[in-house]
């Protein structure tokens, strides 16, 4: 039981960056814009956060600057796709590759330097009693501020998207942009807003990874989390609550490569007969692939017998062109 709880404790900080990226992508895609540049935006956000902190700024200054830089990157993507009507897929991949390349290039000067990450703290107003609950106390009530922020943003995002006028406008822009335009809702402004929001979330996700989880920068630090986030958004049916479940599934399997180091599989049943199989399954390299295997499995499982088109934004990845333009 204690080893399982330890895995869960590792899973929480591993979940946070992915969850934040998912939330931002949900906003963008529900308005009809497929932002494939999340990987690159997270990369420059993570590097910016590290540079700010190592240059003498505080942790929260690093978080804010990472969001600003990634937000600017998302704005460039918005200009390309919304105003200049370039292909969303091509532009998104370009932003992703460019962001990773730029971060890796400039990050060479900062590789190997470590920082003091956000420390774990008690959930405000909870007190020591709940923290002392066996097994789950520290898991639920002792995390970093960014972990708490990510969790709080889930119901906030859901409420905005499904219970507010802004959410209705976002949905209209992603499903019936021409009809929305005739009703006085400007799909262009809505799409700009949601794409920038996705960039801000991606920057926050990058900062959560470098300032709240690793404490350092290294090349390819994001490690395909941006692409995984896009896949989870589809699995979650563009719902922030379901995205939390998908992100945690990835985070838990990602934590296995740390929690199962040195695991003695010889204690498992039938270890004599299945020794080679266990050796393969618990090999560190194989364990590192589990998060991606789980993501693919979720995509396949939730796609069977389900018509994604019924819940997907009808104009996803389609540029809106007004009459006369």
321 domain residue, yes or no: no
Residue 253: pLDDT band by 50, 70, 90 thresholds? confident
User: What phi, psi does 323 have (nearest 5°)?
Assistant: -65, 130
Mean pLDDT confidence for 217-223:
93
What CA–CA distance (Å, rounded) separates 281 from 134?
Answer: 31
129 domain residue, yes or no: yes
Mean pLDDT confidence for 141-158:
91
Task: Count the neighbouring beta carbons within 10 Å of the beta carbon of residue 245.
Answer: 14
Closest CA to 293 of 246, 236, 253, 237: 253
Task: Count the neighbouring beta carbons within 10 Å of the beta carbon of residue 121.
Answer: 13
Q: What is the pLDDT of residue 140?
A: 65
169 domain residue, yes or no: yes
322 domain residue, yes or no: no
324 domain residue, yes or no: no
Q: What is the pLDDT of residue 315?
A: 95
Q: What percent of the chain has pLDDT over 90?
A: 64
Selected residue with higher pLDDT from 286 and 115: 115
What CA–CA distance (Å, rounded) separates 7 from 159?
Answer: 31
* Domain, as residue range, for 294: 2-310
What is the SS3 assignment for 302? Answer: helix
pLDDT at residue 57 above 80?
A: yes
188 domain residue, yes or no: yes
Q: What is the pLDDT of residue 2?
A: 58
pLDDT at residue 37 above 90?
A: yes
pLDDT at residue 88 above 80?
A: yes
Q: What is the pLDDT of residue 125?
A: 61
Burial of 262 (0-12, 13-18, 19+ CB in 10 A): exposed
Return mean pLDDT, the chain: 88
158 domain residue, yes or no: yes
Selected residue with higher pLDDT from 204 and 7: 204
pLDDT at residue 242 above 80?
A: yes
Contact 228, 253 (CB under 8 A): no
Six-digit token pair at 243?
A: 């995205």
What CATH number is attached to the domain comprising 302? 1.10.3470
Q: What is the pLDDT of residue 274?
A: 72
Q: What is the pTM of this model?
A: 0.91
Q: What percent of the chain has pLDDT over 70?
A: 85
32 domain residue, yes or no: yes
Work out how many domains the chain is built from and give that number.
Answer: 1
Please spell the DSSP secondary structure of 143-206, one letter per residue. Answer: E-HHHHHHHHHHHHHHHHHHHSHHHHHHHHHHH-HHHHHHTT--HHHHHHHHHHHHHHHHHHHH
Sequence-ordered list of residues with C-beta below 8 angstroms from that of 83, at least 6 positions apart, any chain: 188
């Amino acid at each position: 039981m204690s080893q399982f709880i330890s895995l869960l404790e590792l899973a929480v900080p591993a979940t946070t960056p992915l969850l934040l990226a998912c939330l931002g992508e949900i906003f963008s895609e529900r308005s009809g814009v497929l932002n494939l540049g999340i990987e690159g935006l997270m990369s420059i956000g993570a590097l910016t956060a590290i540079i700010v902190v190592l240059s003498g700024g505080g942790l929260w200054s690093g978080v804010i600057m990472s969001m600003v830089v990634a937000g600017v990157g998302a704005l460039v993507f918005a200009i390309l796709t919304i105003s200049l009507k370039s292909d969303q897929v091509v532009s998104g991949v370009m932003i992703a590759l460019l962001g990773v390349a730029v971060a890796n290039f400039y990050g060479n000067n900062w590789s190997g330097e470590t920082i003091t990450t956000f420390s774990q703290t008690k959930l405000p107003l909870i007190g020591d009693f709940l923290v002392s609950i066996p097994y789950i106390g520290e898991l639920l009530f002792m995390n970093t501020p960014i972990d708490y922020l990510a969790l709080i943003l889930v119901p906030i995002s859901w409420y905005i998207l499904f219970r507010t006028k802004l959410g209705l406008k976002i949905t209209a822009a992603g499903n019936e942009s021409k009809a929305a335009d005739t009703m006085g809702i400007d799909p262009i402004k809505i799409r700009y807003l949601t794409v920038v929001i996705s960039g801000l979330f991606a920057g926050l996700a990058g900062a959560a990874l470098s300032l709240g989880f690793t404490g350092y920068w290294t090349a390819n630090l994001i490690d395909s989390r941006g692409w995984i986030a896009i896949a989870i958004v589809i699995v979650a049916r563009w719902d922030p609550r379901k995205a939390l479940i998908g992100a945690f599934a990835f985070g838990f399997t990602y934590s296995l490569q740390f929690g199962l180091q040195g695991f003695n599989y010889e204690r498992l049943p039938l270890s004599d007969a299945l020794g080679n199989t266990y050796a393969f399954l618990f090999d560190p390299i194989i364990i590192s692939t589990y998060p991606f295997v789980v993501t693919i499995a979720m995509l396949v499982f939730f796609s069977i017998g389900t018509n994604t088109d019924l819940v997907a934004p009808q104009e996803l990845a389609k540029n809106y062109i007004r009459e006369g333009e």
